[in-house]
Amino acid sequence: MNVDNYISARQNRINDKLNIYLPSAQLKPQRLHEAMRYTVLTTGKRLRPLLVYATGEMLGAHLEALDVPAAAVELIHAYSLAHDDLPAMDNDDLRRGQPTCHKAFDEATAILVGDALQAFAFELLSTNNSLTAEQHLQMLRYLAKGCGSQGMVGGQALELVLENSASPSRNLLDTVHYLKTAMLIRVSIQLGALAAGAKEAILIRLGQFADDFGLAFQIQDDILDQAEDPNSLSYPNFLGIDEAKRHYYKLRQQAYDQLSFFGDEATPLRLLIEYALNTNSDNQ
Ligand code: GRG
């Protein structure tokens, strides 16, 4: 299997599904729906849906059973980006190379877009597809916990604590990024596994893989952004660039090692490590 073919096939699939699932811009309230579509349908890597597909496929799920959970995690991700870009948060003008939602529309609309995308993710996940009612319930629980106050939003809240701390600790830095970034990655992997009917032991093993993958992804992002803000509380600024790179490589290797348990069927997940954790950090 070739990495580019696999990634682009699944990206095309989720882009088609998102286009179909999202409310039409002709439906009232038109401006809100237009802004929701604008926010989601811009070109992102679709990493979280790719993780749902790759994990589910590894464990024998049908692609049709993975479309809805894959869309749900991308909707949550898109909502978090729209809210994170707001003036009260990061105050960014550009996202995915285009004006952020509040710049293209307005602040109130961007807040409502995030709210509506979050609700839509849960609505979609509760709809009937090829999964059992128990699988639906489990997925709803994992997603709700993963993106709430003890997950992604909690990570964002703790980042504010970190930024205002006189002596920020390494432990707090790690907690922020496990929650803010790695948690939705973890949930994506877990939803893929749940769609395949995976048992607790597999979920735990995949949770360890997800944590390594998710934190490595965040550190890579920090290394790539390093030049942008030398004063931010990023891994390179906190640990020093050499230690940040060393930690990145260690986590990436650990993620590969976690997959040795699975054999050849883990090829899609190995391809995703290649795709998402591909920084030659020595060149940064
Ligand atoms: C709920 C306000 C709120 C925030 C939650 C997830 C999050 C916290 C904020 C998003 C902003 C951010 C920069 C998070 C760090 C993780 C990260 C590298 C996000 C970008 O994800 P990619 O690279 O983006 O997968 P694309 O555009 O490819 O989907």
For residues 197 and 148, the answer to whether their CB atoms sit within 8 Å is no
Measured from the CB, is residue 96 less than 6 Å from ligand 1? yes
Distance 209 CA to ligand 1 centre (A): 19
pLDDT for the residue numbered 130: 75
How far is CA 93 from each of CA 85, 107, 203, rounded to the nearest angstrom? 7, 12, 38
Beta strand residue intervals within the chain, DSSP E: 94-95, 98-99
Alpha carbon of 152 to ligand 1 centroid (Å): 10
179 lines ligand 1 (CB under 6 A): no
Helix axes 30-41, 63-84, angle to 10 degrees: 100
| Confidence band for 284, pLDDT divided at 50, 70 and 90 | very low
Mean pLDDT (whole number) for 198-207: 94
| Pocket lining: 195 vs ligand 1, CB cutoff 6 Å | no
CB of 221 closer than 6 angstroms to any ligand 1 atom: yes
Mutate to test the pocket of ligand 1, among 39, 52, 156, 224 (most ligand atoms within 8 A of CB): 156
At residue 279, the pLDDT reads 67
What residue type is assigned to position 102 of the chain? H
How far is it, in rounded angstroms, from Cα 153 to Cα 39?
19
Q: Please determine, for residue 277, whether its predicted confidence score (pLDDT) is greater than 60.
A: yes
pLDDT, tens digit, 9 for 90 and up, residues 168-190: 999 999 999 999 999 999 999 99
Q: What is the pTM of this model?
A: 0.96
Give the ligand 1 atom nearest the CA of 45.
28
- Using CA atoms, how far apart are residues 88 and 69, in angstroms rounded to an integer? 30
| Residues near 199 by beta carbon (within 8 Å), at least 6 away in sequence | none
231 confidence band (pLDDT: 50, 70, 90)? confident
Asked whether residue 282 carries a pLDDT value surpassing 90, the answer given is no
> What is the percent of the chain with per-residue pLDDT over 90, rounded to a whole number?
88
Residue 128 has pLDDT above 70, yes or no: no
Burial annotation 90-120 (CB, 10 A radius, 16+ → b, else e): eeeeebeeeebbbebbeeebbbbbbebbbeb
Nearest protein CA to atom 23 of ligand 1, as residue: 45
Looking at ligand 1, which residue's alpha carbon is closest to its atom 29? 44
What are residue 131's phi and psi, to 5 degrees?
A: -105, 160
pLDDT per position as a tens digit, 105-123:
999 999 999 999 999 999 9
Per-residue pLDDT at 283 exceeds 50: no
